[in-house]
Amino acid sequence: GDSVTQMEGPVTLSEEAFLTINCTYTATGYPSLFWYVQYPGEGLQLLLKATKADDKGSNKGFEATYRKETTSFHLEKGSVQVSDSAVYFCALIGSSNTGKLIFGQGTTLQVKP
């Protein structure tokens, strides 16, 4: 079945450092890909998405590019802030498009001043 694998955390960075969180997927056809974020004490929020190959999703300085050839959707940010500290989840909706989100295990990011 479809699945998502993301790098294990926690990831600890200093403010203004470059962030990469790796995410790869296994799915038939062309899934839609997502990054969700869960800030401390808050609910899950959609951060960005890409629905077809080579699309780049972006929001709040974060970017991820849908790479069909490597089945990847790595999350990047050029300069992280303390306020980016959160748990990040990579997810997909399969090509059957039922809306069922399949999540990776989540990566905790801690940014220190």
Q: Kindly list the residues in this chain that would bind another protein in the complex (CB under 8 A).
A: 32, 34, 42-46, 49, 51, 89, 91, 93, 97-106
When the beta carbons of 70 and 98 are compared against another protein, the nearer one is: 98
**If residue 76 lies in a helix (H) or strand (E), which one and from where to where?**
strand 75-77
- Spatial CA neighbour of 7 closest among 74, 68, 54: 74
Q: Whole-angstrom Cα distance, residue 64 to residue 51?
A: 12
CB of 105 to another protein, least distance (A): 5
Q: Whole-angstrom Cα distance, residue 6 to residue 35?
A: 11
C-beta neighbour count of 75 within 10 angstroms: 24
When the beta carbons of 73 and 89 are compared against another protein, the nearer one is: 89
Token digits of residue 63? 């970017």
CB of 18 to another protein, least distance (A): 26
When the beta carbons of 80 and 107 are compared against another protein, the nearer one is: 107
CB of 100 to another protein, least distance (A): 5
CB of 15 to another protein, least distance (A): 28
